[in-house]
Amino acid sequence: MSPRTKEQFEDIRSEKLQLITRTALSLFSEYGYEATSVSMIAKKAEISKGLLYNYFKSKEDLLKQIVIGGFMDFARLLVTEDDKVLGKKEILHFIDENLVLLKSNREYYKLYFSLILQPKVFSLFNDEVMKFYYEIIQHLFLYYQQKGEKNAMVKARYLLAIFDGVGMHYIADPEGFPLDEVSEMMKELL
């Protein structure tokens, strides 16, 4: 048997990283961050604690990477490299794609919404998340300002507050919450 190539090692590393983050996300979402131990994560992932620490400095580091990664998926659909003012088409795309993310990543959003209500835990990644959050607000503000809205910043914050509320209600009742109809109502705010 020939030795593994650098690419094979990178593939193995990537697979283990994904296994650990998926397992931790599942357990954090089900039991909560505080109640989930590194031992629980390692046991469910069928790896040693030492291997987990080879990938993450601490449980906090693992949580931080999960939360920031998920929030970046949300923000990536609106935050751009340049400061151009986005049009209605881009904002509609942002709404549609983020509701797709909400549907496909319920565990993440269940965890995220539980964490934002825990200031001590949320402070672990607050700065990074808020950086993206304020970039989104700025894009929405510029959009509403361009439209001539009198209270463009209030409207931008209102739309993001609606996203949060929709997300929480959908996570609490995914079968009964009328996500598609609510999505259409959100679009009317544009």
pLDDT value of position 88: 87
Q: Quote the CA–CA distance of 118 and 34 in Å, as a whole number.
A: 11
- Please check whether residues 11 and 76 belong to one and the same domain: no
- Please check whether residues 180 and 111 belong to one and the same domain: yes
Task: Report residue 61 as tokens.
Answer: 């580091």
- 92: domain CATH number is 1.10.357
- Please check whether residues 103 and 76 belong to one and the same domain: yes
Q: Could you tell me the sign of the dihedral formed by the alpha carbons of 114, 171, 35, 19, in that order?
A: negative
- 46: domain CATH number is 1.10.10.60
- Please check whether residues 51 and 67 belong to one and the same domain: no
**123-135, pLDDT tens digit by residue?**
888 888 888 889 8
Burial class (CB in 10 A: 0-12, 13-18, 19+), 3: exposed
Domain that holds residue 39: 1-56
The reported pTM is 0.82
With a CB cutoff of 8 Å and minimum separation 6, the contacts of 91 are: 78, 140, 143, 190
Q: Quote the CA–CA distance of 92 and 97 in Å, as a whole number.
A: 9
Q: How many residues does the chain have?
A: 190
- Please check whether residues 77 and 10 belong to one and the same domain: no
- Please check whether residues 18 and 103 belong to one and the same domain: no
- Please check whether residues 175 and 83 belong to one and the same domain: yes
Residue type present at position 60: E
- Please check whether residues 42 and 132 belong to one and the same domain: no
Number of structural domains in the chain:
2
In this predicted model, which residue has the larger pLDDT, 79 or 35? Answer: 35
